[in-house]
Homo-oligomer: A and B are copies of this chain.
């Protein structure tokens, strides 16, 4: 399929502008064809206005029909097959197996939301019947459910060209909720974005969705991205990227005449605590697992562990030695783009320059700059240095991690208290360790979105019980998740109907319960008619 390099505005293509951008092949270190035309402010306005115009029709389309649209979009993306893998590989340097897996995850995720809305109970429908003879005043009939907010702006992420980009979790959950979506493609993978965007566009046409339910614009964050966030018709924003970028969008969105929520996932150090029993009995396996987790995807995962805490002594030294060997043997690898590679190199230099931090090991081979490579690094320091060095609380996005030697359980708790908000925290321990460290767990529960036991934070399961999010600065909205079915709540608001005639109520709130959903009726959960 030949790339057209244009913006997708609803059911049409548009390339009014004169600025063009190219994708970069990090494996080859060269720009690649075609040129993509940056959206103009007029095109931004058209896409957003079309989304606003589509909303009244889209929100009233029945959930089964919306689910069908999502399923067809998933089929169309899956049908891109090798074409999408090849393009994404050339634009990101990510291996083909990973990209095939990511395509599977992306389409499964879309189908998960289709199934969620087809089942329908997610709207949290509540019905309280009238009590006309209640004293001193009659109780009216009231019925409540979640409804979509309106057009949503989604930013593609650099590190997941499929699962967190054009048709990733934000887009899938917003469309499932009934919100039109306008995506700003990430500059690192514009061709991949176009291919996925065309698949969604095709599905929208084929399933009779209103024109404007989906658009995809190419361009820079500072121009196209800002204009989208500040457009009056936008009602919410989804973003995965740097702290600087996320906070800037948040500031723009909250300064609007009508502020809108920004769901920005911005970075996380994903601390790992290796408790004494596990360290003694399982140190080598933990070291191997940590190495795999730190270097997975060349460390370019939101959940890669940047900090590893353990009690100093022979067992932690042994773990450090195993890690040292593994990191030495790790070959430098191609990173997503030159900017990320440069920031990573700078980040490891900053860590290395902290007084009291030792480099345990790095890739023995030198990274090839022509292949946009980064070397793996493992550092070691003491808890006092960690507590007093703000540089060690900054994410280094790449295959690097820091071992922190703690003198005692109390040191570990002090380190945990010092943590900012993160996506995850991991504990390695025996059951006795866990009982012994209940206070540490309680501290971590307040710091992160997900706690992992005897595992590794990378690899985010997509399911109803997942939370991918966490307190600021991990995200700008610690209340909500970007992965799993609960992500749909981001793009919704409550609407209550008081004493409404049956014919004017949404199906979800009608007495007969035609959708057969689980509701709370007069305080009891039931699927019965009310």
Contact = CB atoms under 8 A, between A and B. Distances in A.
A121 to B, nearest CB: 7
A518 B525 contact: yes
Contacts of A261: 477, 479
A454 interface: yes
A142 B486 CA distance: 14
Interface in A491-507: 492-501, 503-504
A258 B480 CA distance: 16
A466 interface: yes
A431 B446 CA distance: 51
A495 B465 CA distance: 9
A499 B455 contact: yes
B467 A144 contact: yes
A289 interface: no
B465 A101 contact: no
A161 to B, nearest CB: 20
A464 B144 contact: yes
A86 interface: no
Contact of A494 (B476, B486, B504): B486
Contact of A150 (B144, B446, B465, B486): B446
B446 A486 contact: no
A504 to B, nearest CB: 5
A243 to B, nearest CB: 12
Interface stretch (A132-140, A344-352, A359-367, A371-379): A132-140
Interface string A48-92: 000000011001100000000000000000000000000000000
B493 A434 contact: no
Contacts of A259: 250, 254, 472, 476
A466 B144 contact: yes
A464 B523 contact: yes
Given A259-B472, A450-B495, A128 B465 contact: yes
A143 B465 contact: yes
Given A461-B140, A465-B144, A518-B525, A504 B449 contact: no
Given A56-B446, A126-B465, A144 B479 contact: no
A120 interface: no
Contact of A479 (B459, B492, B500): B492
A206 interface: no
A449 B525 contact: no
A227 interface: no
A340 interface: no
A295 interface: no
Contacts of A465: 126-128, 142-144, 496, 520
B455 A126 contact: no
A164 to B, nearest CB: 18
A128 B127 CA distance: 28
A442 interface: yes
Q: Name, among A469, A484, A496, the residue most crowded by chain B CB atoms within 10 Å (CB to CB).
A: A496
A471 interface: yes
A259 to B, nearest CB: 6
Contacts of A529: none
A503 to B, nearest CB: 6
A191 interface: no
A498 B451 contact: yes
A493 B464 contact: no
A371 to B, nearest CB: 27
A445 interface: yes
Contact of A501 (B434, B471, B498, B520): B434
A493 B466 contact: no
Given A442-B60, A465-B127, A481 B494 contact: yes
A59 to B, nearest CB: 8
Interface string A83-109: 000000000000000000100000000
Contact of A136 (B101, B453, B478): B101
What 9 A-B pairs are tightest by C-beta distance, nearest first?
Answer: A467-B496, A126-B465, A254-B254, A144-B465, A450-B496, A467-B494, A452-B498, A142-B465, A128-B465
20 contacts: A121-B525, A126-B464, A128-B461, A139-B461, A140-B461, A143-B465, A144-B464, A144-B467, A150-B446, A254-B259, A261-B477, A441-B504, A445-B495, A450-B495, A451-B495, A451-B496, A453-B504, A464-B523, A467-B494, A479-B493
